[in-house]
Structure 1
Amino acid sequence: MQLEPDEDGHRLTATVQDSWQLRWWLLSQAGSIPVLEPVGLREELIGHLKKGLGYYLTS
């Protein structure tokens, strides 16, 4: 794990196990932290967030 200063605060780089728990935690933090890489995970999370937002925008 590595934490570095960034123009927006800090950047955390870590190697973690790919799991549903990781996705659950990342989605719970969606308003606070962006996932930059891996791109596939980032795109998956974006898809989940767009789908969830769609439930509120069509009401």
Structure 2
Amino acid sequence: MKEIIPDNILKIQKKLANFEKDSRNYKKYTKILAKHIKSHTMQQRVKAHIKVIETIQNLNKK
């Protein structure tokens, strides 16, 4: 399965590339990017857990 990076994360990364390292905006956008990545990985985890639960339920029915 191919991982797709969401548009919001790509936009933040492009914006972050324009700033000087250790500038105020760079630090600000780094925090924003971390928040978006964290929520994205949590969504992926939840989806994976749901798939595992559904698979186990299907196996138990058989």
More strand by share: 1
> What's the TM-score once normalised by structure 1's chain length?
0.40
More helix by share: 2
- Kindly name which structure, 1 or 2, has the bigger radius of gyration based on alpha carbons: 2
- Larger relative contact order (Cα-Cα within 8 Å, sequence gap ≥ 6): 2
> What's the TM-score once normalised by structure 2's chain length?
0.39
